[in-house]
Amino acid sequence: MDLTLPRRVAPELLDELAAGDPRAQRSRADLRRIHRAMATLSILEGALDRIPVASAPRSLLEIGAGDGSLMLRLATRRAARWPAVRATLLDRLNIVAPHTLERLRQVGWTPRVVAMDVFDWLAIPDGTRWDVIYASLFIHHFSSAELVRMLGALAARTRVFFCCEPRRSALALLGSHLVALLGAGPVTRHDAVSSVHAGFQGRELSALWPESRDWVVDEYKAGLFSHCFLAIRKER
């Protein structure tokens, strides 16, 4: 059951901690466990499987990529089918470990880290069109007004956009109060609840995506706690 409360975006504690702060490091380890519990990789792969085969991606960009662990898990599963992908990891913090980059190279992908605020990055004129831009647990950080700007700029730069975010539902709220059972520390326990209040339901993200006949969009529940948005550009 979806919560009837409106979206409430509040600062998350992890965003206020320095990269090397032990509380931030603990929270990022918590996130890796939470992604496994939420089956984020399967949800991401399910969305990517919907991309028409003729356009198998050569360039991927993850925004708000954190430590790059989701990209690495994706690469490990996909590299045989999607060889030689240029994999770019954008986050305002530079926290992708050298061994993560090395493992991406080992599977044949070419990683690049962009340590920038996403809005600063989007403000740089750039003719690149990515095959896929995706995000997990990132889009909910932003107000609707910010998302209109962000999604509009992302749409101009990609063929596919996908995000997997918290669902603003009663079940997700219950789950967020139980992350301690997965060993989550105080930062994650706070941010998990906050994230659900800032999460999405219904067609909220579709309403923020630029209106155009050029896109096939879908917005859907995934797993127990996630809310996804997928936009695929129509090929002419």
Ligand X SMILES: C[S@@+](CC[C@H](N)C(=O)[O-])C[C@H]1O[C@@H](n2cnc3c(N)ncnc32)[C@H](O)[C@@H]1O
Q: Which of 132, 127, 154 is nearest to 62 (CA)?
A: 132
Comparison of 61 and 155: residue with beta carbon closer to ligand X: 61
165 is a site residue for ligand X (CB under 6 A)? no
Closest separation in Å from C-beta 93 to ligand X: 5
Whether 59 and 132 have beta carbons less than 8 Å apart is answered as yes
Q: Binding to ligand X (CB under 6 A): which residues in 5-24?
A: 14-15
Is residue 226 a contact partner of residue 38, using CB atoms and an 8 Å limit? yes
Among 74, 93, 139, 208, which residue interacts with ligand X (rule: CB under 6 A)? Answer: 93
Burial 151-162 (b: 16+ CB within 10 A, else e): bebbbebbbbbb
Tell me if 147 contacts ligand X by CB under 6 A: no
Q: What are the residues whose beta carbons fall under 8 Å from the beta carbon of 130, sequence distance 6 or more? A: 59, 60, 61, 88, 157, 158, 159
Query: CA 29, CA 48: separation in Å to the nearest integer?
Result: 25
| CA pair distance 218, 221, nearest whole angstrom | 10
The answer to the question of residue 92 lying near ligand X (CB under 6 A) is yes
117 is an interface residue for ligand X by CB under 6 A: yes
β-strand partners of 200: 167
Residue 166 in the binding site for ligand X (CB under 6 A): no
Which tokens go with 145? 């007004």
Residue of 26, 78, 141, 189 interacting with ligand X (CB under 6 A): 141
Nearer to ligand X by Cβ, of 137 and 215: the residue is 137
| Total of chain residues touching ligand X, rule CB under 6 A | 16
Q: Which is nearer to ligand X, 163 or 231 (CB)?
A: 163
State the minimum distance, in angstroms, from the CB of residue 120 to ligand X: 8
Task: Check binding of 199 to ligand X (CB under 6 A).
Answer: no
Using CB under 6 A, pick the residue from 88, 100, 136, 188 that binds ligand X: 136
Distance CA 96, CA 113 (A): 8
Of 30-89, binders to ligand X (CB under 6 A) are 31, 64-66, 70
Instruction: Enumerate binding residues for ligand X (CB under 6 A).
Output: 14-15, 31, 64-66, 70, 91-93, 117-118, 136-138, 141
